[in-house]
Amino acid sequence: MKTFCGYICLFGKPNAGKSTILNSLMGFKLSIVNRKAQTTRNKILGILTEENHQAVLTDVPGIIEPKYELQSLMVKEIKSALSDADFILYIIDSAEYNKDEFIANLKLIDDKKYAIVLNKIDEINNERLIEIGKELNEIVKSEIIPLSAKSGFNMDTLKKTIFENLPESPFLYDSESTTDKPEKFFVSEIIRNNILSLFQEEIPYSVHIDVREFKEEENKKDFINADIIVERESQKIIIIGRGGNMIKKIGQNSRRQIEEFLEREVVLKLFVKVKSDWRRDERYLKSLF
């Protein structure tokens, strides 16, 4: 039997719904979904295998103009994923659609095979949807897929398009694999997502999670020791909270979600440490990415 396999890059602006689409295609939460922009920092692979088709789905950070070294590395992740892609899903937030931005970003992928995914159509009326569709048809000749990843509308069409555009190739991963990331990575993402949810403004973007220990012991709870890295002492004080109330809340929420993800009990220890301007420290960032 012939097999089809390839890299599918989910491309678009921050908050276009790339991570929600990845999670919906995979059938479980693989990537952080949060209303705050620039939630995705690392390239995350979801491996979707059905019968003789395997799509290696790549969720990358949203398109941004880099302002510091961390964002420059995020842009490199995007370019690397686009270069490797066999097919690209250009995902647009239909409620935020802008023709000039669309055309500018299209230049990054115009030498690749792609489809346009018009996401969040449940947030606009039919007249606006028709208007956007007509405008897109004048600009591109590729397939345009109206979608609501949140409700699941038209996800079957999206999956069909993905499988139809896979090149003939042996599978790149075992058919039982679902991602290339270790459990440790998802533990750090769960902790970071809780910080994204609990804090406003700059603090969530100034945080990095370093899982220093992850011990699995037979007949015992897993032991996880993680550092919450911030850039300034003032941020450390806010993360800890009055009488330790905020770090306690982060720990409780994260432990519960980690246990749900791992399907086993854990002991979670969190510490807050200051690494001055870590987002601009090229040497430190290279050790992380």
Q: Can you give the pLDDT at residue 87?
A: 96
Q: Can you give the pLDDT at residue 67?
A: 59
User: What 3-state class would DSSP assign to 281?
Assistant: coil
Instruction: Among 164, 191, 207, give the residue marking a domain's end.
Output: 164
246, 240 Cβ separation under 8 angstroms: yes
Residue 171, in any domain of the structure? no
Q: How far apart are CA 201 and CA 215, in angstroms?
A: 34
Q: Do 109 and 249 sit in the same domain of this protein?
A: no
Q: Do 252 and 206 sit in the same domain of this protein?
A: yes
210, two tokens: 């370093």
Residue 73, in any domain of the structure? yes
268, 222 Cβ separation under 8 angstroms: no
Q: Do 15 and 120 sit in the same domain of this protein?
A: yes
Q: Do 73 and 201 sit in the same domain of this protein?
A: no
Residue 230, in any domain of the structure? yes
Instruction: Among 133, 164, 195, give the residue marking a domain's end.
Output: 164
Residue 88, in any domain of the structure? yes
- For the full predicted model, state whether its pTM sits above 0.85: no
Q: Do 160 and 23 sit in the same domain of this protein?
A: yes
Residue 169, in any domain of the structure? no
Q: Do 250 and 149 sit in the same domain of this protein?
A: no
Q: Do 10 and 92 sit in the same domain of this protein?
A: yes
Instruction: Among 164, 195, 230, give the residue marking a domain's end.
Output: 164
Q: Can you give the pLDDT at residue 2?
A: 93
Q: Do 158 and 209 sit in the same domain of this protein?
A: no
Which residue range forms the structural domain that includes residue 71? 4-164
CB contact set of 71 (below 8 Å; sequence gap of 6+) = 38, 64, 279
Q: Do 73 and 215 sit in the same domain of this protein?
A: no
Q: Can you give the pLDDT at residue 34?
A: 47
Q: Do 258 and 131 sit in the same domain of this protein?
A: no
Q: Do 48 and 151 sit in the same domain of this protein?
A: yes
Q: Can you give the pLDDT at residue 281?
A: 78
Q: Can you give the pLDDT at residue 69?
A: 61
Q: Do 128 and 247 sit in the same domain of this protein?
A: no
- List the CATH number of the domain containing 204: 3.30.300.20
- List the CATH number of the domain containing 89: 3.40.50.300
Distance of CA 289 to the CA centre of its chain: 15
- Which residue from 135, 142, 133 is spatially nearest to 164, judged by alpha carbons? 142
56, 6 Cβ separation under 8 angstroms: yes
Q: How far apart are CA 253 and CA 139, in angstroms?
A: 46
> How do the pLDDT tens digits run along the chain, 289 residues long?
899 999 999 988 888 888 889 989 988 777 655 454 445 556 678 899 999 999 999 887 766 564 556 656 666 777 777 888 999 999 999 999 999 999 988 888 878 899 999 999 999 999 999 999 999 999 998 999 999 998 999 999 999 999 999 999 999 999 989 888 888 888 998 998 899 888 876 777 788 999 999 998 777 899 999 999 999 999 999 999 999 999 999 999 999 999 988 889 999 999 999 998 888 877 877 776 6
Hey, what amino acid is at 27? G
Domain total of the chain: 2
Residue 213, in any domain of the structure? yes
Residue 176, in any domain of the structure? no
